[in-house]
């Protein structure tokens, strides 16, 4: 199984899906969050970050490009590269330091860092579905496939 699609009818369901995902995510993984502006990428990231133990707010790192969350045994780096000038800017940020076995990277607009970012283990695509959203999680590496099997989907009806 390399792909699962979930339905998130509202914001609350999106946060809950993030929490479900958090149970299967671990350090060393790179997660791409794809979808147009306003699709719910930051909302999903918030669900992941808060379920991983962060108690405060999760703001969009639109202007800071990256927001770190230092949790027990894991640091989550939440990126939003929408305003990145060029992929090379990531080199100046010391991008490699953000990817390690104790770090989980969540990236909005990863295509802006193409060529410099490591490949995504999981590529999540959020699309509009009625008033809600469909969330497709594609496993691009064997580490990503492990996450999908931990999510426990048997392909029949993951909702």
Per CB under 6 A, the list member of 23, 118, 132, 158 interacting with ligand ADP is 132
- ∠ at Cα 90 (89, 95), nearest 5°? 155
Contact status, residue 68 vs residue 75, Cβ threshold 8 Å: yes
DSSP 43: H
42 part of the interface to Mg ion, by CB under 5 A: yes
DSSP 118: P
Q: Which residue's CB comes closest to Mg ion?
A: 42
Per CB under 6 A, the list member of 18, 21, 32, 43 interacting with ligand ADP is 43
CB nearer to ligand ADP: pick between 35 and 113: 35
Two structure tokens written together for 138: 């594609």
Binding range to Mg ion, per CB under 5 A, among 89-97, 105-113, 115-123, 150-158: 105-113
In whole angstroms, give the CA distance from residue 111 to residue 33: 10
CB nearer to Mg ion: pick between 19 and 145: 19
Per CB under 6 A, the list member of 14, 48, 123, 124 interacting with ligand ADP is 14
DSSP, collapsed to helix, strand or coil, labels residue 19 as: helix
In whole angstroms, give the CA distance from residue 17 to residue 45: 10
Map the footprint of Mg ion across residues 45-64, applying CB under 5 A.
60
Q: Where on the chain is the footprint of ligand ADP (CB under 6 A)?
A: 8, 10-11, 13-14, 35, 37-43, 108, 132-133
């Amino acid at each position: 199984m390399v792909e699962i699609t979930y339905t998130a009818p509202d914001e609350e369901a999106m946060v809950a899906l993030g929490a479900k995902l958090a149970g299967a995510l671990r350090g060393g993984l790179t997660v791409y969050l794809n979808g147009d502006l306003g699709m719910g990428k930051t909302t999903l990231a918030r669900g992941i970050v808060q379920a991983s133990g962060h108690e405060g707010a999760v703001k969009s790192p639109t202007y800071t490009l990256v927001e770190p969350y230092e949790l027990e045994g894991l640091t989550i780096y939440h990126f939003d590269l929408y305003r990145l000038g060029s992929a090379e800017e990531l080199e100046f940020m010391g991008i490699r330091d953000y990817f390690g076995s104790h770090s989980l990277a969540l990236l909005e607009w990863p295509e802006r860092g193409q060529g410099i970012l490591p490949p995504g283990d999981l590529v999540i695509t959020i699309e509009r579905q009625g008033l809600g959203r469909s969330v497709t999680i594609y496993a691009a590496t064997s580490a990503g496939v492990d996450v999908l099997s931990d999510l426990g989907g048997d392909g029949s009806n993951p909702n």
